[in-house]
Homo-oligomer: A and B are copies of this chain.
Amino acid sequence: MKYKNEIKIQFPSHSENEAFSRTAVAAFAAQLDPTVEELTEIKTAISEAVSNAIIHAYDEAQNGIVTVEVKSTEDRKIVMIVSDEGIGIGDIEKAKEPLYTSKAGEERSGMGFTVMESFTDRLEITSKPGEGTKVTMIKQLDLLV
Interface residues of A in 1-51 (CB under 8 A from B): 5-12, 14, 16-17, 19-20, 23-24, 27-28, 30-31
Give the oligomeric copy count: 2
Number of interface residues of A (CB under 8 A): 19
Quick check: B6 and A12 within 8 Å, CB to CB?
Answer: yes
Interface residues of A in 64-102 (CB under 8 A from B): none
- Interface residues of A, Cβ cutoff 8 Å to B: 5-12, 14, 16-17, 19-20, 23-24, 27-28, 30-31
Closest B residue to A16 by CB, please name it: B31
Q: Which one, B10, B16, B27, contacts A19 given CB within 8 A?
A: B27
Quick check: A23 and B24 within 8 Å, CB to CB?
Answer: yes
